[in-house]
Each structure stands twice: as C-alpha cells, then as structure tokens.
Amino acid sequence: MKQGEIVLAALAGGGWNNGFSPIQIQKTLFLIDEEAAEYIGGRCFNFAPYHYGPFDQAVYSTLDDLESQGLVEQINTGRHRKFVLTKDGFNAGSKILKSMDPKPKNYIRRVAEWARSLSFQELVAAIYHKYPNMREKSVFRS
C-alpha cells in the first residue's frame, strides 16, 4: 500500500468524524508498520526513535498531501491539532478498508480505536513497554 492509502485507512478505522492527535496517528501508523506490514505489502514509513517514541516526518507530509486533496482536515483545538477525515476522505478510507482481508482490516480498526482511547502518557508508555528500543532519544518521563 502507499502511504496515503494506509493513512486514510487508519483514520477511517477510528470511525467517522473522530480526530487523531499527532501522537495518536504517529503511534497508530507505527503499530501498523510493525504488526501488519506483511498484510499491507510491507512497511509504509521509516519510523525512528524520537522525543516521544517512534516518529516519521513523512506521516505529516502525507497528511499535508491528503489535506491538499480535500481528504483530511487539520483542526486546531487550542493545545493540539487534530487530524480528521473529510466526508470524501472517510469514504476513501472506508473503501480501502473494505478492500482488505479481514485480518489486517480488523487490526487497523482495533489499533486506531485503541490509540484514540489512551491519553498521551498512556500511549507513549504502552509503546515504550512493547518497543523499548523506541525510547532511545526520549524526553518522556512516566
């Protein structure tokens, strides 16, 4: 899959009109790359340890590209920004999910919902627990 396709699928996996914070979308896509790469044609990103765990600037570039296509909106919530699919983006992401085999489709939905359900601290701590190598450059203190 291409980066834009997996981002749309991940955002759609979180449900209609549900935004993802930067940490939530980064960690969702990291987990998809780590746990489901064999089902989606390989890794889509190149995550590396950073201040709050796995990070790839290409995630933001892809979101910017999708925004320019009218598929994603970036909403400033005051403290953070949220990434939300437009109606066209949700339809495109849902179509991608529907075309997938059940195992990766269900995994993407579960991980998207799981990441959205956790606080910043809980999400970073959970990633570090399972992937301690991603703590290498961390400034996060739990």
Check residue 25 and give its pLDDT.
97
What pLDDT band is residue 19 in, cutting at 50, 70 and 90?
very high
Q: How far apart are CA 15 and CA 116, in angstroms?
A: 10
What pLDDT band is residue 69 in, cutting at 50, 70 and 90?
very high
Check residue 98 and give its pLDDT.
97
What is the pTM (predicted TM-score) of this model?
0.94
With 0-12 / 13-18 / 19 or more C-beta atoms within 10 angstroms meaning exposed / middle / buried, residue 53 is buried
In the CATH scheme, what architecture does the domain 3-135 have? Answer: Orthogonal Bundle (1.10)
3-state secondary structure 43-108: CCCCCEEECCEEECHHHHHHHHHHHHCCCEEEEECCCCEEEEECHHHHHHHHHHHHHCCHHHHHHH
The yes-or-no verdict on residue 9 having pLDDT over 70 is: yes
pLDDT digits (tens, 9 = 90+) for 24-59: 999 999 999 999 999 999 999 999 999 989 999 999
pLDDT > 70 in the chain, percent: 99
